[in-house]
Amino acid sequence: MYESDVYTIEPGNESMIYDYTALFNAVDSLDNPNHIQLSKDSFPTSFSSPYVDFKKDTILVRDPNSNLIATGIIIPQNTLSSELMIQVHPEHRRQGIGTRILHHLTEIGLERGCSKFICRIPSFRPYAIPFIKDNGFTYEHSWTKLRIEHKKPVSTPSLPWGLTVRGLDTERELDVWEYLQNTVFKNNPHYEPVDVDRLKSLVGHSSFDRNLVVLGIVSEKPVGYGLGWSISSDTGEKTLRIDNIGVLSDYRRHRYGQALVFELINRAYIKGHTSSEVTILSSKQPAMRLFEKCGFRAKYKLLGYTRTLET
């Protein structure tokens, strides 16, 4: 723990999620034109990686009245790289807090054996870019956030000939999920293959919904899958966050991906979701076109910066 006359820095804990939600909403509502006032139930999903440890991977900064004014968290992407998330309350910026948090996160990353940090800056937050650059980060690539509203079931075209879409059996078909995910996404930046044990950890997470993972089958062969998570606002509205949609390369351009997207959206609608969002690597134009054909519209970009850690 670090203490000063102005603030205290301490490790995270399981009960931090209430304060974290309030801090996130204070930061995001200031400049995000598409801000959703999130409920505390949203963030267990955001920290769904089975390798996140609140006590080891999170830094909390509190003022003398114990109010949470800033946080930093490391979310492992694979064994060598981790994504950073730093939040500083608007009323406490330009005091060196972000720099101190980054210093602590760097120490955590090195202890973990991490060799690269990834930081994604929303395009509506350009003022954060000088801070990132000054701390040794360089631009690498960008993602696009897309969104669709669905206040009623989505009218879907008939399924492509020969395709069946159903829920993936998370008890008997984890090996199928493992194969599809590793095959479809193996060439994506920072991707590291998953195994059945990691998927078991994901399925066992408190926020995982077995109804929001679907499988596409052609001639009894699994050819694609889709995965979604639920995000709740403090008004009770729910948004589907689509994490993965993938189809094996030999089966693309047959509307299979579109069928998987519509299946996820309508499954989510039945469970009370009235909107869906997805983040796509901007260079993946086929994926961008897929979601645009499904009615999604681009909202903003996430600019990806990386920094190599030196021991």
Question: In terms of domains, do 252 and 167 share one?
Answer: yes
Q: What are phi and psi of 174, to 5 degrees?
A: -65, -30
- The predicted model gives 182-211 an average pLDDT of 86
pLDDT of residue 45: 55
**107 and 175 both lie in a single domain:** no
Residues 55 and 157 in one domain: no
Over range 274-293, report the average pLDDT: 92
Q: What percent of the chain has pLDDT over 70?
A: 94
Query: Do residues 108 and 151 both lie within one domain?
Result: no
**Are 105 and 225 found together in one domain?**
no
pLDDT-based confidence at residue 272 (cuts at 50, 70, 90): very high
**Do both 86 and 160 map to the same domain?**
no
Which pLDDT band, with edges at 50, 70 and 90, does 298 fall under? very high
Domain assignment present for 176: yes
pLDDT at 43: 65
At which of 114, 136, 162 does a domain end? 114
**Does residue 26 sit in helix, strand or coil?**
helix
| 219 part of a folded domain | yes
Q: What is the pLDDT of residue 48?
A: 53
Question: How confident is the model at residue 176, as a pLDDT?
Answer: 96
33 located within any domain: yes
What are the DSSP E strand ranges found in 64-212?
68-76, 81-88, 116-122, 138-149, 163-167
Residues 283 and 203 in one domain: yes
Query: CA nearest 255: which of 163, 168, 180?
Result: 163
Q: Looking at the structure, tell me whether residues 103 and 8 fall in a common domain.
A: yes
Whether residue 141 lies inside any domain: the answer is no
Span 98-152, pLDDT tens digits? 999 999 999 988 888 888 999 999 999 999 999 999 999 999 999 999 999 998 8
| pLDDT tens, position by position, 16-50 | 888 888 899 999 999 998 888 887 766 665 555 55
Does 4 have pLDDT greater than 70? no
Average pLDDT over residues 174-179: 96
Flag whether 82 is in a domain. Answer: yes
**Residues 177, 110: one domain?**
no
For 228-247, what is the mean pLDDT? 88
Average confidence score pLDDT of the chain: 88
Q: Distance between CA 292 and CA 295 in Å, rounded?
A: 5
Element (H or E) spanning 306, and its range? strand 297-308
Within a domain: residue 273?
yes
Q: Nearest to residue 239, comparing CAs of 248, 247, 231?
A: 231
Q: Which one-letter DSSP state was computed for residue 157?
A: P
54-111 per-position pLDDT tens digit: 888 899 999 999 999 999 999 887 678 889 999 999 999 999 999 999 999 999 888 8
Q: Are residues 173 and 274 in the same domain?
A: yes
CATH assignment at residue 167? 3.40.630.30
Q: Which residue range forms the structural domain that includes residue 41?
A: 2-114
Task: Name residue, tokens 């979601």.
Answer: 291
pLDDT at 192: 78
| Residue 308 in domain | no
Same domain, 184 and 97: no
Compute the distance between CA of residue 127 and CA of residue 210 in angstroms, rounded to an integer: 40
Split into its structural domains, the chain has a count of 2
Residue 156 lies in a domain: yes
What gap in Å lies between CA 142 and CA 270, rounded to an integer? 33
Residues 211 and 297 in one domain: yes
Nearest to 167 by CA among 228, 230, 243, 238: 228
Quick one: pLDDT band at residue 196, thresholds 50, 70, 90?
very high
- Residue tagged 């500083």 (tokens): 88
What is the distance, to the nearest Å, from the Cα of residue 129 to the centroid of all Cα atoms in its chain? 20
